[in-house]
Structure 1
Amino acid sequence: MTAEAVLPDWAFPPPQGFVAEDLDRIPDLPPHTELIDGSLVFAGPRQRFHHDVIFGLHRALAEAAPDRLQVCQAMAVKLTPEQRPEPDLIVLGPQAPSDETMTC
């Protein structure tokens, strides 16, 4: 006897593909899910080396950056309605929105 995996309804894209705002509305979406070309991209587990490098880069950038710049880690960036990647690090300028409730 074989068991078939049952995927949740949200795993199947709408005909036009997903849009950036869908990532905020889909219940139980795995952490660090990105949207690339209207498709969901799931992050794999990160190795300790990856974590250590990102932590070191974050500290170095934060120390070197002028006060008007802010270093953010693992924050999604909405580039277009179909593109919402989540870079490991991003440096934000003073013109960037600063609402603490923003998800991207």
Structure 2
Amino acid sequence: MTALPDGMRPLRAEGWFAEDLDHLPEAPRHTELIDGALVFMMSPQRSWRGRLITALTTTLMAQAPTGVEVEREMTIRLDARNRPEPDLLLTHLTYGGWPHRGWGG
């Protein structure tokens, strides 16, 4: 088993918090935070999955009512300990230049 780099260890005993993801430049792309634990997408993705997500994104964008935003593979802060990255995200909120990567307050 490969040891975690020092920068990937939680800063506190309670584990990770949503804002910590913004300060982990060595974290792999698409790192999620679930219940205070980092989750990495390690398996390679298949091309059919990418095509399916693209097709769903374009279809939903065409069908979504005014005021509904469609985004793909964008992290969203649900609470202090959860910041998942869903394949697709539909929201009535607009991306307001949040100070962190992703959606949420």
1:98 maps to amino acid = Y
Q: Which has the larger radius of gyration?
A: 1
For residues 1-104 of structure 1, the aligned pairs below 5 Å read 5-13=2-10, 14-44=12-42, 45-93=44-92, 96-101=93-98, 102-104=100-102
CA RMSD in angstroms comes to 1.7
Structure 1 unpaired stretches of 5+:
none
Structure-1 separation of matches of 2:78 and 2:4? 28
How many residue pairs end up in the alignment? Answer: 99
User: How far does residue 7 in structure 1 lie from its aligned partner after superposition?
Assistant: 2.9
1:7 maps to amino acid = L
1:48-85, Cα deviation, whole Å (9 max, x unpaired):
11101100000110000112111001111111111100
Asked if 1 retains the 8 angstrom alpha-carbon contact of 2:73 and 2:86, the reply is: yes
Q: Percent identity?
A: 37
TM-score by length of 2: 0.84
Structure-1 separation of matches of 2:20 and 2:60? 31
Asked if 1 retains the 8 angstrom alpha-carbon contact of 2:77 and 2:83, the reply is: yes
Q: Which piece of structure 1 moves more, 40-49 or 54-63?
A: 40-49
User: How far does residue 6 in structure 1 lie from its aligned partner after superposition?
Assistant: 4.9
User: How far does residue 5 in structure 1 lie from its aligned partner after superposition?
Assistant: 4.3
* Secondary structure of residue in 1 paired with 2:30: coil
* Secondary structure of residue in 1 paired with 2:85: coil
Structure-1 separation of matches of 2:26 and 2:8? 11
Structure 1 moving runs of 4+ over 6 Å: none
Q: Which piece of structure 1 moves more, 7-16 or 21-30?
A: 7-16
